[in-house]
Structure 1
Amino acid sequence: MANGASTAPGGPGLSFPPETFAKLSPGPFLHAHLKQQDPVRANGRSPEQFRKPTINTGSLTHSNGSAVVRVGDTAIVCGVRAEILLASDIPQPPKDDVETDDLVEDLGLLVPNLELSTGCSPAHLPGNAPGTLAQSLSYRILSLLNSSNLISPSDLSIQYAEPEAEEDQPTDEFKTVTKAYWTLYIDILCIALDGNAFDAAWAAVLAALQNTSLPMAWWDPDREAIFCSPLASEAHKLQLNGLPISSTFAVFSTASPLKRREDVESWILADPDGFEEDLCRETLTVVVATERSEQNPGGIIRLEKTGGAVIDRKLMQRCVRMAKNRCSDWDSALRGC
């Protein structure tokens, strides 16, 4: 069955290629592969095997940072554009002597937007209206950006040392005042989709932010405006508080209303492709930080589980171990870009 062959009893042999079998009976086709003594998925990977990532940065010359990430046949392009938000334009600007980790989220300084390009997969054909998948991915990316404290508020603030005395009274005492903030618009485009869009999109965001350079900016008190240096040599790299890596798992199960629970078989599939995602109703996403810092102590940052009841505490611990092992691949790829 795994090879797509079928023979009718009492008649001539009938066979068809695996691609046809996969389209006619996708569930039994994947099940035939996984129930072997050495389980192997239809794509040739073992159940716990991830696809190898490739990352290229700096491809978009007119953005502050960019990256192209490819994982199997899933390809994501991400560009970061920095714009200035004046503190005077904020209805209730935060106090300069109080800095909280929620400042980036409260001011909306990170604005991700994900789009699925026309024809990136069979489900996204020309003329189709934007679906809920792109909106869901955008929201998940924004939520993870804020909850992981990936970017410090101080790295996005433009400050000015303001004299505390009157202008006609010279003084050596100054107070630091925040005059503006950098707002980062993170545009993500999926140009090819073959499953596990979130992991690839999140990696593209990380790589693009690592590649982001912000111009040197200062406040001119005479003209009461923010000015930026055009020199690339004076720009500074955006600093990230650790590298949270996302790993997604899917559960393929033979459960049905006619089967007893003890007869049900199930497998954990790491980094599912598009064919497997259509057959799996339960997923788990594990986000693990690879670095330790004061803002990001490392370890597990987030667990997202949807559908089903196969993944219990024991299987979740197993997925967490696989996710931690997976971090080394992404860490090497991100550091090498």
Structure 2
Amino acid sequence: MANGTPPAPGLTFPPETFAKLTPRPFLQAHLQHKDSIRPNGRRPEEVRKPTVNTGSLSYSNGSAVVRVGDTAVVCGVRAEILLASDIPHPPNGDADAEHLLEDLGLLVPNVELSTGCSPTHLPGNPPGILAQALSYRILSLLHVSDLVNLQDLQIEYTVPQTDDDLPDAGPKTVVKAYWTLYIDILCIAMDGNPFDAAWTAVIAALRDTSLPRAWWDPDREIILCSPLEAEASRLRLRNLPMASTFAVYSTSSPLKQRAHAESWVLADPDGFEEDVCHESVTVVLSHHMDGKKSGILRVEKHGGGIVDNVALLRCVQATRNRAGEWCAVLGIT
């Protein structure tokens, strides 16, 4: 300059500031780059590596801690006895076993997010819509997936034969009680994709669940449980559904025709991507343990209209590829 004053330095901001000021252009600029690298450093199809630890809670029948990136979930399973005599309309012998779990309410999941797990979930707040939606989705998936064997939850009693019984009649077995499993899911840190982490924690905790040996005492007419850990039995899971969630980002707008818009399917979205994207897809694949053919169990889609059949097929294939990783961390062969 004429007076010798040096020019003012350029105004620059760190990437975190641009992400807060203009989140959509910030994400779009990363995706439109030739390498198409997301702000978190992952490619669109790349997922965060999960870790699973079981048996962390000493006073529960089963527990698991699952961490996916900066999302961490703790799940504890608590078993309580439901007497058949306390059921208003007990099922008869011809009842469909597949519907008894749902009709009797033997699986009770509950998701808690109001623990300061993120800036939007402060301690002391009542349960929000997200927590209730996650609880319902997990409950519905527990029922449709044929996950828990009803026989593992039944406490039976074989009635002794008497002189009045027919000689050819075999021993009669009646169900005196059921185990009810309360599945508490606590999100201690949330950075996107809570459903995949919560569902994996449920699967891991149920695989870790042991039920005490219980029997009916006809003299005192009560259920007794053995305190010996060696006599407890592991819960048998017949199906291990694997879930993968995808967020969809699109440049479409009311001023831009859909045919001219660009879109990206982002696997395992983090919290920033979930806030920016308005469409998501969750694919659940069954993984039967009894040799039955595995396949698509459920496809959930929320918001938007960008995902077509081609994109759904890519999501299904990506879920198949990730299923092997989930099986590895869960110790499933």
Question: What aligned pairs does 1:122-161 form with structure 2 within 5 A after superposition?
Answer: 122-161=119-158
Task: Name which of 269, 275, 284 aligns with 2:266.
Answer: 269
| CA-CA distance at 1:12 after TM superposition | 5.5
Question: What aligned pairs does 1:123-202 form with structure 2 within 5 A after superposition?
Answer: 123-165=120-162, 173-202=170-199
Change (3 A) 1:22 1:234: same
Matched, 1:82 2:88: no
Q: Secondary structure at the match of 1:161?
A: strand
Task: Name which of 46, 49, 53 aligns with 1:52.
Answer: 49
Task: Name which of 19, 28, 38 aligns with 1:31.
Answer: 28
1:253 is aligned to 250
1:66 is aligned to 63
| CA-CA distance at 1:44 after TM superposition | 0.3
Q: Secondary structure at the match of 1:327?
A: helix
Letter in 2 for 1:286: V
Distance 2:88 2:177 in 1: 13
Give the structure-2-normalised TM-score. Answer: 0.93
Structure 1 contact 288–298 (Cα < 8 Å) conserved: yes
| CA-CA distance at 1:163 after TM superposition | 2.7
Distance 1:60 1:235 in 2: 17
Q: Secondary structure at the match of 2:11?
A: strand
Distance 1:81 1:217 in 2: 15
Q: Which moved more, 1:312-321 or 1:172-181?
A: 172-181
1:6 is aligned to none
1:307 is aligned to 303
Q: Secondary structure at the match of 1:130?
A: coil
| CA-CA distance at 1:176 after TM superposition | 1.1
Task: Name which of 310, 327, 332 aligns with 2:328.
Answer: 332
Task: Name which of 207, 211, 214 aligns with 1:214.
Answer: 211
1:318 is aligned to 314
2:228 is aligned to 231
1:5 is aligned to none
| CA-CA distance at 1:170 after TM superposition | 9.7
Measured against aligned partners, the alpha-carbon deviations of 1:236-291 in whole angstroms (never above 9, x if no partner) come to 00000121011000101111112222321110000000000001111110001223
Structure 2 stretches lacking a partner, 5+ long: 1-6
Measured against aligned partners, the alpha-carbon deviations of 1:39-61 in whole angstroms (never above 9, x if no partner) come to 11000000001111001111100
Measured against aligned partners, the alpha-carbon deviations of 1:284-334 in whole angstroms (never above 9, x if no partner) come to 10001223537x642111110111111111110110000011101110111
Structure 1 segments (4+ residues) deviating >4 Å: 166-172
Structure 1 contact 290–331 (Cα < 8 Å) conserved: no
Distance 2:163 2:330 in 1: 50
1:102 is aligned to 99
Letter in 1 for 2:256: K
Structure 1 contact 163–171 (Cα < 8 Å) conserved: no
Distance 1:172 1:131 in 2: 56
Change (3 A) 1:286 1:169: closer
Give the structure-1-normalised TM-score. Answer: 0.92
Q: Which moved more, 1:70-79 or 1:172-181?
A: 172-181
CA-based RMSD:
2.1
Change (3 A) 1:256 1:222: same
Letter in 1 for 2:212: P
Distance 1:306 1:194 in 2: 19
Q: Which moved more, 1:209-218 or 1:163-172?
A: 163-172
Task: Name which of 19, 29, 44 aligns with 2:16.
Answer: 19
Change (3 A) 1:163 1:170: farther
Measured against aligned partners, the alpha-carbon deviations of 1:104-133 in whole angstroms (never above 9, x if no partner) come to 111100000110142111111244332111
Pairs aligned (count): 327
Letter in 2 for 1:151: V
| CA-CA distance at 1:169 after TM superposition | 10
Structure 2 contact 52–67 (Cα < 8 Å) conserved: yes
